[in-house]
Amino acid sequence: MNGSPAEQGFVGRIEQGAITAVAVGLRALPVRARIRAGHAVGTLAFLLDRRRRRLAVDNLRWAMSIDERGARAIARGSFHHFGRVLVECLSMTSYACPRADRLFHVTGFDNLRAAQRLGRGVLVFSAHIGNWELVALRQALAGYPMDFIARPMKSSALDHALQRWRESAGNRVLGRQGVLRSALRSLREGRSLAILIDQHVSGPPRLILPFFGRPAAVTATLGWLAVRLDAPVVPVVSYARADGGYDIEYLPALAVPALASPQEQSIELTRRANELIESWIRHMPETWLWLHDRWKVPEDTPMETQ
């Protein structure tokens, strides 16, 4: 993680103050007003960020096999949704109060409870769809806090604010140093470990697996931890609702495949998780991060470990 805003000097303190002021203002708004604010942020980003807009449209055209007009419509919806996610993250603590309970409809939570009872920790995986931050918040409030493997934000002030809000309900953010060791410790302590596996991974350990029919680099950490520790792998996804709420679904734990070697088991488990994420995106494509450069590896890259 970057140095604290105080360590970054005057500019860092100004940035921290601005983030705090915006967060306080957003928390004071009704839920539907926050959605409108997020929509406005997304619209502005769609209009101004030509490179990300073009990337999102191109990704959609070939992944969903749709024309330019259809791709632009979904891309616009994706920008709107992630404007909403940004606003929700900045006002995260307001979703922890009892009156926010009505915004979340949770199904399959017994799948998480059953995995937790095994006593080997739980690998909870998801993707950048819906609002994964609010899923983690609500899970902690339900008595099942989790630890995060998360990339640091470019903004030190925002990174520290987000960590504070994430940890306010009992979750923990693992530091960048020795993250794998920390992840092993979390699982051995019987905690949940959250991993998002739908972004490009630039270096090892990674796998090259098909995603929407094209090779994509996927983290190997999920499968490796599951096989090494015999930890259950529970998928969770959230779908945005127009009223400002989310439908959150916990699915049954993925079974570790009965294959000859731990490496084969890890690859196959990751493949199944990757395929599940693709099905979630196809169900509600406008709420996934199409503006991310997901397919950086060449199309002729062989499907193998790297």
Q: pLDDT tens digit string along 71-119?
A: 999 999 999 999 999 999 999 999 999 999 999 999 999 999 999 999 9
62 torsion bin: left (phi>0), alpha (psi -120 to 50), beta (else): alpha
**Interval 257-285 mean pLDDT:** 93
- In the numeric block, the tokens 């019987």 are attached to 190
- The residue that leads in pLDDT, 302 or 245, is 245
Cα four-point dihedral sign 297, 300, 304, 305: negative
Q: pLDDT tens digit string along 199-225?
A: 999 888 899 999 999 999 999 999 999
Kind of pairing, strands 214-219 and 206-211?
antiparallel
**Interval 144-150 mean pLDDT:** 88
pLDDT score, position 1? 47
Burial class (CB in 10 A: 0-12, 13-18, 19+), 204: exposed
Least trusted range by pLDDT, from 38-42, 151-155, 229-233, 291-295:
151-155
pLDDT score, position 202? 87
Report CA 78 to chain centroid distance, whole Å.
15
Residue 269 and residue 256 in contact, taking contact as beta carbons nearer than 8 Å: yes
Report CA 85 to chain centroid distance, whole Å.
11
**Interval 144-162 mean pLDDT:** 82
How far apart are the C-alpha atoms of 76 and 43, rounded to whole Å?
7
Q: Is the per-residue pLDDT at 7 higher than 60?
A: no
In order of 216, 274, 284, 298, the CA distances from 303 in angstroms are 9, 13, 27, 11
pLDDT score, position 240? 97
Average pLDDT, the chain: 91
Neighbours of 3 (CB within 10 A): 12
Beta partners for 249? Answer: 107, 237
What is the band of 18 on the pLDDT scale with cuts at 50, 70, 90? confident
What is the band of 12 on the pLDDT scale with cuts at 50, 70, 90? low
**Interval 167-172 mean pLDDT:** 92
Least trusted range by pLDDT, from 4-13, 238-247, 268-277:
4-13
Exposure string over 103-120, b if 16+ CB within 10 A, otherwise e: ebebebbebbeebbeeeb
**Residue 212, SS3 per DSSP:** coil
